[in-house]
Structure 1
């Protein structure tokens, strides 16, 4: 299983939100590049980056920060947050980002998502954020009427290779991740599933690995020390 420590960017700083609420934000590091370097020192090979400003306001305010993180090397980086056209995909890939995550646009313009998946293959993932089981978009502010699992099936049928699934109610809460959700998603053929949101214990990583999750994203648990990243990498990193 691949392990992705997470850096969420807002105003050029590494932050975490509680249940996706921009008003409940904690700054963990004013220097995201140094934060990424500490992950490398812990043995991480992958990094999950979310531009919260991009997700909320459709800006590229954190582009230079992401460029600096990518420029230091040592990590295969996936980036999401405000990626809603092919130009932005190309800009990130040109910076050295390994994979771009489509979120809101995947729901709002499914034909675009299908086309990007066809053109870029495994370099495109779809981030499916779920609130009470339904897909949420626009920085988690808007909940759609489509069940998240149904949308994941639709993505797989359209040729999307990777899904990053987040139960918003668990994100940043340290209450444990939604293991039942990932068991259900893993019954969908043809997609790699990444678990995101609420992972708080090593035992959850063991369960995710055992059920066949492709990857897991670690956020608040590694910032607070609930999970030691170096130990998690030693035990569970492919």
Structure 2
């Protein structure tokens, strides 16, 4: 299982939001490079970065900080937030980002997103936020009246391989991941790799995910609040 440490950037600082609320942002580090260095030194060569300014403003804002992390530490990064068009995706990938994560584009500009998949394949990760089993978008305020199969199949047909799936009800809560959700997703869509996001609180949560052969998991708040150590994260990590 790939354990992927997360850095959420807001105004160039490392923060975490609670259930996506910008008014509930906790600052953990003013220096994102130093935060990423801890992960690198612990043996993680790939990290997850979200541009929270970008997600809010509709354009990628924190690129200089992401580039500094990549260039300083020689680490690979998957990133999302504010990627709204094919040109946005192309720009980030050309700047040395390993993988881009798109969610709003897949819902609001599906033709653009399919073009990204056509040209960048495995470097393009779908960010799929789920609310009561439905795809949520627009700041999690709206949901698609469409089955997951109808939503995902056109993307699978165009080469989608990896989905970062967040159960909104679990995001930032430390209440444990929705194990059953990820089991169902993997069973229903065996050709896809699912990265779990949201709710992981301790090493036992990682153990449960690993036991069901979860492809990957993003770790954020549990680490920053001392619920999970880097050693514990590394114990369940494999490339």
TM-score scaled to structure 1, two decimals? 0.93
Q: Is 1:192 aligned to 2:193, yes or no?
A: yes
Contact 1:44 / 1:230 at 8 angstroms: preserved in 2?
no
Residue in 1 that maps onto 2:223: 222
CA displacement 1:71-127 (0-9 Å, x = unmatched):
123322100111111222222222221100111001112222222112101000000
Distance in 1 (alpha carbons) for counterparts of 2:96 and 2:231: 25
Q: Is 1:233 aligned to 2:229, yes or no?
A: no
CA displacement 1:169-191 (0-9 Å, x = unmatched):
11111000111110011010321
SS of the residue corresponding to residue 225 of structure 1 reads: coil
SS of the residue corresponding to residue 177 of structure 2 reads: coil
Distance in 2 (alpha carbons) for counterparts of 1:153 and 1:179: 23
Residue in 1 that maps onto 2:83: 83
Query: Which segment drifts farther, 144-153 or 65-74?
Result: 144-153
Residue in 2 that maps onto 1:201: 202
CA displacement 1:188-226 (0-9 Å, x = unmatched):
032111000111121221221222221100000010111
Contact 1:18 / 1:24 at 8 angstroms: preserved in 2?
yes
Residues 9 and 138 of structure 1, relative CA distance in 2, 3 Å threshold: farther
Contact 1:117 / 1:159 at 8 angstroms: preserved in 2?
yes
Cα RMSD for the two superposed structures: 1.7
Residue in 1 that maps onto 2:16: 16
Residue in 1 that maps onto 2:161: 161
Distance in 1 (alpha carbons) for counterparts of 2:143 and 2:59: 21
TM-score scaled to structure 2, two decimals? 0.93
Distance in 1 (alpha carbons) for counterparts of 2:153 and 2:230: 32
Residues 106 and 210 of structure 1, relative CA distance in 2, 3 Å threshold: same
Distance in 2 (alpha carbons) for counterparts of 1:173 and 1:22: 15
In the TM superposition, what are the counterparts of 1:56-71 in structure 2 within 5 Å?
56-71=56-71
Distance in 2 (alpha carbons) for counterparts of 1:235 and 1:212: 11
Shift of 1:147: 5.0
Distance in 2 (alpha carbons) for counterparts of 1:102 and 1:48: 13
CA displacement 1:140-168 (0-9 Å, x = unmatched):
34333335575345533443111000011
Query: Which segment drifts farther, 164-173 or 38-47?
Result: 38-47
Contact 1:6 / 1:49 at 8 angstroms: preserved in 2?
yes
Distance in 2 (alpha carbons) for counterparts of 1:170 and 1:8: 17
SS of the residue corresponding to residue 170 of structure 2 reads: coil
Contact 1:205 / 1:236 at 8 angstroms: preserved in 2?
no
Residues 210 and 151 of structure 1, relative CA distance in 2, 3 Å threshold: farther
Residue in 2 that maps onto 1:27: 27
